[in-house]
């Protein structure tokens, strides 16, 4: 069964990424290697996962591509913006995530991916100091330049469609400020007035992408598209938005493990999470104002899974703490420690310790691929605004907080949302329920 409403994935798909650092260079190298048959895209659900469609005699387990029309890896063209001028090949070498033997076979293709000048404001990422940046441009001029970049890239590479994803550093915390963020008109006025306090550079990218008919994905915990003004723009342009913050290591563990405690009706006294990492992300997050943005994102996961109001005996008074420490020797190999204090029968205490020695970019790359492919699918299916079905991939899923909506953070409920959306777009019945 195919759904006539979903347009086919014809022609080239341009994936334009903000930030050409460890995550992006690993992502691009992996896709280029995979399409040459030299590596496997492990971790990509689009490439590997199978979901059930139909029931009873008509039941089948199909890969996502067999359910809905998804762009092929061979149709992808990469572009980027970055504050550093290094091309994707040199960026991949510098990041030291991948071995040289896994980069060299696609060296020629990577060298051609040269980053365009970034829309950058040092006040939002004080630890970064690149010179490949737009100089002397107001916020509105940044938007105009980025729109021009997207149009030129699309034309020069013969792309039919574009997706824009933010995989750059976490900006300083920008609280939602209703006089600027509340409506699209107010946001546009602030951009034209060069309001550098309330309009983050990332908002310029999101505005430019949506205005040029490209879905936008926020891979950091920035406020960027998590404001009513951007929801209004997404509605106006009929474009999908997704965010925020790639759910790679520790929060993935949390969103998968907290349901064990909740389902088993065990109590929680405290959950202490700490991380050490040494890549550019760690450097930026060493700045307290930038860490605050990440902290808000990481803290939000647990509270919507283990809800005090629903089980006061078990969750009325737990202590939740998150820490990130910059530790250069680890580079991209992040270590996440979780200490979980639980209690059981008659209130007797127990402890769980989880030590996840993960590779940040190795976990993020397939996630970035899936988000880009599924956002492109959503656009062709006529879905626009916040794409809640992509919550599975995100630490702090976007939701309409103005209406008191609580995001779904429970990993297995998020998986049901993802499968149901694919079934619907494929013309099947969305037949699983979230309890």
pTM value surpassing 0.85: yes
Q: Is 404 within the bounds of a domain?
A: yes
3, pLDDT greater than 50 = no
Domain boundary among 307, 332, 359: 359
Q: Is 5 within the bounds of a domain?
A: no
- The domain in which residue 138 lies consists of 12-246+362-425
Residue 2 confidence class, pLDDT cut points 50, 70, 90: very low
Mean pLDDT of 251-257: 92
Mean pLDDT of 247-268: 94
- pLDDT for 4: 52
- pLDDT for 210: 98
Q: How far apart are the first and last CA of the chain?
A: 28
Q: Is 417 within the bounds of a domain?
A: yes
Q: Is 106 found in the same domain as 169?
A: yes
Q: Is 433 within the bounds of a domain?
A: no
Q: Is 168 found in the same domain as 223?
A: yes
Q: Is 312 found in the same domain as 163?
A: no
Q: What does the pLDDT look like over 346-371, one tens digit per residue? A: 999 999 999 999 999 999 999 999 99
CATH of the domain at 293: 3.30.360.10
Question: Of 40-44, 151-155, 397-401, which range is least confident?
Answer: 397-401
Q: Is 390 found in the same domain as 258?
A: no
Q: What does the pLDDT look like over 282-329, one tens digit per residue? A: 778 778 878 787 777 666 789 889 999 999 999 999 999 999 898 999
- pLDDT for 284: 81
Q: Is 224 found in the same domain as 102?
A: yes
Average pLDDT, the chain: 94
Alpha-carbon gap, residue 396 to 298, rounded angstroms: 7
Q: Is 126 within the bounds of a domain?
A: yes
Q: Is 211 found in the same domain as 95?
A: yes
Q: Is 397 found in the same domain as 331?
A: no
Q: Is 259 found in the same domain as 242?
A: no
- pLDDT for 421: 98
Q: Is 410 found in the same domain as 335?
A: no
135, pLDDT greater than 70 = yes
Q: Is 236 within the bounds of a domain?
A: yes
Q: Is 434 within the bounds of a domain?
A: no
Domain boundary among 331, 359, 387: 359
Provide the percentage of residues in the chain whose pLDDT is more than 70.
98
Q: Is 404 found in the same domain as 328?
A: no
Mean pLDDT of 119-142: 94
Give the count of domains, the chain: 2
Alpha-carbon gap, residue 325 to 276, rounded angstroms: 5
Alpha-carbon gap, residue 117 to 146, rounded angstroms: 9
Q: Is 189 found in the same domain as 59?
A: yes
- pLDDT for 1: 36
Q: Is 204 found in the same domain as 61?
A: yes
| Residue 295 CA: distances (Å) to CA of 18, 127, 178, 251, 286 | 22, 18, 22, 11, 12
Alpha-carbon gap, residue 298 to 296, rounded angstroms: 6
Asked if 249 and 357 count as a contact pair (C-beta separation under 8 A), the reply is: no
Count of C-beta atoms within a 10 Å radius of residue 141: 16
User: Looking at per-residue confidence, does 332 or 411 come out higher?
Assistant: 411
Provide the percentage of residues in the chain whose pLDDT is more than 90.
86
């Amino acid at each position: 069964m195919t759904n006539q409403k979903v347009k086919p994935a014809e022609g080239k798909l341009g994936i334009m990424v903000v930030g050409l650092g460890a995550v992006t260079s690993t992502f691009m190298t992996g896709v280029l290697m995979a399409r040459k048959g030299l590596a496997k895209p492990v971790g990509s659900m689009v490439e590997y996962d199978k979901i059930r469609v139909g029931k009873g005699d008509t039941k089948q387990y199909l890969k996502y591509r067999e359910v809905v029309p998804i762009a092929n890896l061979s149709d992808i063209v990469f572009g980027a913006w970055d504050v550093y001028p290094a091309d994707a090949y040199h960026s991949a070498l510098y990041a030291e995530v991948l071995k040289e033997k896994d980069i060299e076979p696609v060296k020629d293709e990577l060298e051609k991916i040269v980053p365009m000048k970034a829309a950058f404001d040092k006040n939002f990422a004080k630890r970064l100091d690149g010179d490949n940046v737009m100089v002397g441009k107001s916020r509105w001029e940044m938007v105009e330049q980025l729109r021009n970049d997207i149009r030129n890239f699309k034309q020069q590479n013969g792309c039919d469609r574009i997706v824009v994803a933010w995989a750059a550093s976490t900006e300083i915390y920008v609280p939602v400020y209703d006089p600027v963020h509340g409506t699209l008109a107010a946001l546009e006025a602030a951009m034209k007035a060069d309001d550098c306090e309330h309009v983050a550079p990332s908002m310029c990218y999101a505005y430019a992408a949506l205005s040029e008919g490209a879905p936008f994905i926020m891979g950091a915990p920035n406020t960027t598209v998590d404001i009513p003004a951007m929801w209004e723009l997404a509605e106006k342009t009929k474009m999908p938005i997704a965010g925020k913050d790639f759910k790679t290591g520790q929060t993935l563990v949390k969103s998968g493990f907290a349901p064990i405690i909740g389902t088993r009706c065990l109590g929680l006294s405290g959950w202490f999470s700490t991380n050490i990492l040494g890549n550019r992300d760690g450097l930026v997050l060493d700045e307290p104002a930038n860490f605050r943005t990440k902290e808000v994102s990481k803290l939000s996961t647990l509270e919507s899974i283990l809800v005090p109001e629903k089980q006061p005996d078990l969750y009325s008074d737990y202590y939740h703490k998150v820490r990130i420490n910059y530790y250069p020797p680890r580079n991209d190999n992040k270590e996440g420690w979780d200490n979980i204090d639980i209690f059981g029968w008659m209130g007797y205490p127990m402890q769980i310790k989880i030590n996840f020695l993960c590779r940040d970019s190795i976990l993020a790359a397939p996630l970035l691929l899936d988000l880009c492919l599924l956002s492109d699918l959503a656009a062709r299916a006529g879905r626009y605004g916040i794409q809640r079905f992509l919550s599975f991939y995100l630490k702090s899923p976007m939701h309409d907080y103005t209406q008191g909506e609580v995001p779904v953070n429970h990993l297995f409920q998020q998986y049901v949302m993802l499968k149901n959306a694919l079934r619907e777009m494929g013309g099947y019945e969305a037949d699983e329920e979230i309890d």
